[in-house]
A and B are shown apart, each in its own frame.
Chain A
Amino acid sequence: MITYKEALTAAMAKLLADDPRVFIYGQDVGSFGGAFKVTEGLAAAYPDRVLDAPISEDAIVGVAIGAAIEGMRPIVEMQFADFSTCGLNQIVNQAATLFYRTEVPCPIVVRLPSGGTAGAGPFHSQSMEALYATYPGLIVMTPATVEDAYSMLIEAVAIDDPVLFCEHKLLYNHLKAEKLPTESLPAGKARVARHGRDATIVSYGAMVHESLLAAKELVEDGYEIEVIDLRTVKPLDTDTILASVARTGRLLCVSEAWPWGGVAAEVVARVCAEGFALLDAPPQRLNAKDTPVPYHPDLWSAHRPTASAIVTATRSLLQA
């Protein structure tokens, strides 16, 4: 068995082995193995290409952009996605616009350990995908499976544009697979994680698993719920979403991020604009509550969408 986290490590090991342009840069990614031990063992094998950085996200991303301009394929690790805002200027003003301004590609990957875990609180739980997705020039990936953690990270490094790679911390050790994949869907293509008939749940990251649990529970009521895993939130695979809504007539979009201007809002807006005639009920979204992420595990469970909250939202959608 291989975990989501081990798949990420394996992907980076393969990238380092296959391509001398690849290097890993971030705080304590070296001999310490990273805040979540995702780079564990890599520095021993590639001491010149797994480099500890000073505690400045701004400088880290700036260095990576410079290296990319010079032809390297850097992988930056943020300790927590939350801290990436300290490097926001480099990411959104420099990396995102570089090719537009100069026609020089900026193939950097910024790994963002994302999302909530019990007791992590407001600075170590945030989901940043909507923030980065709003900037033209960035690609935002949100792998939900062990297979995607592996294959999408390899693809992220191959892409010539800057990629924000939102790996979910809750999945690091819990999610396991038999083996690493040998093939995968391309970036920008969503996956039908479960086929259904009565409603479509669109989700990504850890919420895919909550949605699948909810779908399983609703089978007892006689409902067959289709679950779509977006995989990449930018670009957004509108075709797969609309095709699913055409089958089911109902849409719930579930996201662990806040509701305002988020991925769920974007999905709902696109379905309303392009697929209004497919709908049997007003499309709904289920997000985290519009407050900072709470520390207390009970509050945290109430703050984020859970399988039971998704069941409730889906039931009311089915009755609408």
Chain B
Amino acid sequence: MAQVPISMPQLGESIAEATIVKFLFAEGDTIEADKDLLEVETNKAVMGVTSPCAGKLCEILAKEGESYPVGAVLGYIEVSDEDARSLGLDETPVEKPRKKEPKRHAAPAAPQQVEPTVKGLPVPAHAAGASYLSPRMKARMSELGLHAADLAGIAGSGAAGRVTIEDLEKFLEDLERNRITPASTMRVAVADAMRRSATRPLATVVLPVRLDAMLAHRRAQAPHKAGPALYGLRALAMALSENSAPAGRLIGDRIIHPRSIDIGFAVEADDGVLVPVIRNADQFVLADLIERYDRLVELARRRRLSPGDTGGSIATITNYGVFGLTMATPIPLPEQTLLLGMGAGQIVPHWDATEKAFVPITEASLTLSFDHRVLDGGAAGRLLRRIAELFNKPEDL
């Protein structure tokens, strides 16, 4: 009889070890091939470890509740010589470690690469990869006013691909051969905000929405009419006044809820974007907001916004449709969870079920970009659908 080891499988790219939840069989049980033998738990999920072959579970080495590195032998299956031959195994018994020893440190081969020093840590504790910045690198970068993002274009030559001080100096030297102009204060400020925001896991959901009702409403309001973005802003404000939780911010393990429904809107200015704010946007009807909105746009374009006109908003709307763009995944402001985007309207064929014919309608994409830590696709989708609903009843806005 030959013995086949049951090993802790590689359960995911960054998983170095897993904890045994329970064995589904006892020593002596007959087992089939490719059936779950035991359950293991990583920091991501509970998974089954399947039997490599049919046979008899002859020995369990691992203990329930204990953690074992990938590759550790958890037990042995006894197989007939015939099966062993068909599995390509020698009939000579597998050499196995002494019985019942704690196998915690029994990871075979290359323990140098994956040897977690902290229980449950999914990556090698001493990883010194591309993202590692030594104190010396940090000091040099702060001297030069550089950020980690500025180093993205450098292929590091150091240990595990990390960028060395020599790599940095060479990179900077190479740059000197290009034409170099200073970035404007506005550009640097936007860069800083985007870099901080992008440290979060961001996602975007998309919904096509008909614009015909809004466009008709606008025409009826002429000459004193609101821009499409203001319709979106008001719809967003109303949706959030019904339920402001999606606009909450996650700080540590607490959700910080908005105090009032102050909504920002993006205005393109010279070499950057400004975000003036309409305070308590849920408490004024659309018609009462037009003048305030237009004045803020005007001030923003002239770069004359006062400090009270910006900051403190809980969500922002951006109408990238004005650039002719139909869909985008913009990045929310770093202190906000939500960013509503509006694409350019397009005339598209729409199947009219009563007419049994395609009719032309004007449609645009509404996008909601969000901090995935605070809400998921479902909640973001519900909010976006509610915004679209409100958007389609412009007379209520």
Binding site for B on A (CB under 8 A): 249, 276-281, 319-320
Interface of A: prevailing SS:
loop
- Whether A280 and B136, one on each chain, are in contact in the complex, defined by CB atoms closer than 8 angstroms, is yes
- Whether A277 and B159, one on each chain, are in contact in the complex, defined by CB atoms closer than 8 angstroms, is no
- Whether B128 and A277, one on each chain, are in contact in the complex, defined by CB atoms closer than 8 angstroms, is no
Q: Which 7 A-B pairs have the closest CB atoms?
A: A277-B139, A280-B134, A319-B159, A279-B135, A280-B136, A276-B135, A249-B136
Chain B residues closer than 8 Å to A319, beta-carbon distance = 128, 159
Chain B residues closer than 8 Å to A276, beta-carbon distance = 135
Chain A residues closer than 8 Å to B139, beta-carbon distance = 277-278
Instruction: Mark interface residues in B345-358 (1 if CB within 8 Å of A CB, else 0).
Output: 00000000000000
Of the candidates B136, B159, B165, which one forms a contact with A320 in the assembled complex, judged by CB atoms under 8 Å apart?
Answer: B159
Chain A residues closer than 8 Å to B134, beta-carbon distance = 249, 279-281
B193 within 8 Å of A (CB atoms)? no
B336 within 8 Å of A (CB atoms)? no
Q: What is the bound-complex CA distance between A319 and B128, given in angstroms?
A: 9
User: 14 additional contacts, CB 8 Å, given A280-B164, A319-B128, A320-B128?
Assistant: A249-B136, A249-B165, A276-B135, A277-B135, A277-B139, A278-B135, A278-B136, A278-B139, A279-B135, A280-B134, A280-B165, A281-B134, A319-B159, A320-B159
Binding site for A on B (CB under 8 A): 126, 128, 134-139, 159, 164-165
Q: What is the bound-complex CA distance between A320 and B128, given in angstroms?
A: 7
Nearest CB of A to B139, in Å: 3
Q: What is the bound-complex CA distance between A277 and B136, given in angstroms?
A: 5
Question: In the complex, how many residue pairs between chain A and chain B have their CB atoms under 8 Å apart?
Answer: 26
- Whether A277 and B165, one on each chain, are in contact in the complex, defined by CB atoms closer than 8 angstroms, is no
Chain B residues closer than 8 Å to A280, beta-carbon distance = 134-137, 164-165
Interface of B: prevailing SS:
helix
Q: What is the bound-complex CA distance between A61 and B1, given in angstroms?
A: 77
- Whether B164 and A277, one on each chain, are in contact in the complex, defined by CB atoms closer than 8 angstroms, is no
Q: What is the bound-complex CA distance between A319 and B129, given in angstroms?
A: 11
Q: What is the bound-complex CA distance between A319 and B134, given in angstroms?
A: 13
Residue in A closest to B133 when the chains form the complex, CB atoms:
A280
Q: What is the bound-complex CA distance between A319 and B165, given in angstroms?
A: 14
Residue in B closest to A318 when the chains form the complex, CB atoms:
B159
Nearest CB of A to B340, in Å: 43
Residue in B closest to A279 when the chains form the complex, CB atoms:
B135
Chain A residues closer than 8 Å to B135, beta-carbon distance = 276-280
- Residue of B138, B159, B164, B165 with most partner-chain A CB within 10 A: B159
Nearest CB of A to B343, in Å: 48
Chain A residues closer than 8 Å to B164, beta-carbon distance = 280
Nearest CB of A to B160, in Å: 9
Q: What is the bound-complex CA distance between A278 and B165, given in angstroms?
A: 11
Q: What is the bound-complex CA distance between A278 and B164, given in angstroms?
A: 13
A-B contact pairs, 19 of them (CB 8 A): A249-B134, A249-B136, A249-B165, A276-B135, A277-B136, A278-B135, A279-B134, A279-B135, A279-B136, A280-B134, A280-B135, A280-B136, A280-B137, A280-B164, A280-B165, A281-B134, A319-B159, A320-B126, A320-B128
- Residue of B135, B164, B165 with most partner-chain A CB within 10 A: B135
Q: What is the bound-complex CA distance between A288 and B395, given in angstroms?
A: 84
Chain B residues closer than 8 Å to A277, beta-carbon distance = 135-136, 138-139
Q: What is the bound-complex CA distance between A277 and B135, given in angstroms?
A: 5
Q: What is the bound-complex CA distance between A281 and B165, given in angstroms?
A: 12
Nearest CB of A to B154, in Å: 15
Nearest CB of B to A135, in Å: 33
Chain B residues closer than 8 Å to A278, beta-carbon distance = 135-136, 139
Chain A residues closer than 8 Å to B128, beta-carbon distance = 319-320
Q: What is the bound-complex CA distance between A84 and B138, given in angstroms?
A: 47
Nearest CB of A to B137, in Å: 7
Chain A residues closer than 8 Å to B138, beta-carbon distance = 277
Chain A residues closer than 8 Å to B136, beta-carbon distance = 249, 277-280
Q: What is the bound-complex CA distance between A277 and B134, given in angstroms?
A: 8
Nearest CB of B to A98, in Å: 43
Q: What is the bound-complex CA distance between A279 and B134, given in angstroms?
A: 7
Q: What is the bound-complex CA distance between A319 and B113, given in angstroms?
A: 13
Nearest CB of B to A250, in Å: 9
Residue in B closest to A280 when the chains form the complex, CB atoms:
B134
Q: What is the bound-complex CA distance between A320 and B112, given in angstroms?
A: 13
Nearest CB of B to A123, in Å: 37
Residue in A closest to B164 when the chains form the complex, CB atoms:
A280
Chain A residues closer than 8 Å to B159, beta-carbon distance = 319-320
Q: What is the bound-complex CA distance between A277 and B126, given in angstroms?
A: 20
Residue in B closest to A319 when the chains form the complex, CB atoms:
B159
Q: What is the bound-complex CA distance between A276 and B140, given in angstroms?
A: 12
Nearest CB of A to B234, in Å: 52
Residue in A closest to B126 when the chains form the complex, CB atoms:
A320
